[in-house]
Amino acid sequence: MTHVIVLNGGSSSGKTSIARALQELLPDPWLTLGADTFVEALPATGAGIEFGADGSVTVGPAFRRVEAAWIAGIAAMAAAGARIVVDEVFLGGAGSQEEWSRALAGLDVLWVGVRCDAEVAARREAARGDRVTGMAAKQAEAVHVGVTYDLVIDTARADTRTCAREIAARVR
């Protein structure tokens, strides 16, 4: 039985919309937690994360310590029986996946790459108005470097419901 679905993709790639659609499609209650939830929970200053004017994201040791606790907490909830969709941005590429893999060891995890053409993601980013301009383009490919997936979807080529249905079909 699948315990966790990890959606990894850049900013504005469609992860959150897919996660919400999965909550509607899947028969059991699924919690959605991820990068936005985590960043919103951080204090405004001193959290060790900086957003550059060019769309870059830089994290330091303070951020990494709290992030490790966040990941361990999500893994503990899944181990306790919660079914979770993780809406994530692997800023560290394969290293980020390794950290999640260690925390989720022993659980059935579906790893999903959420791809989106950089230009499409940039248009979505501009329409949203709540992101630093350039973040979507910088992350579109970088978050996938060295990451291994069970399934890859492309939100520039398929709508949210189609992508969610494809993921749901893989859930055990």
Q: Which residues are catalytic?
A: 36
Closest by CA position to 133, among listed 144, 121, 145, 141: 121
Assess contact for 101 and 153: CB atoms under 8 A: no
The Cβ-side half-sphere exposure at 160, using a 13 Å CA radius, reads: 14
Closest by CA position to 96, among listed 115, 70, 78, 119: 70
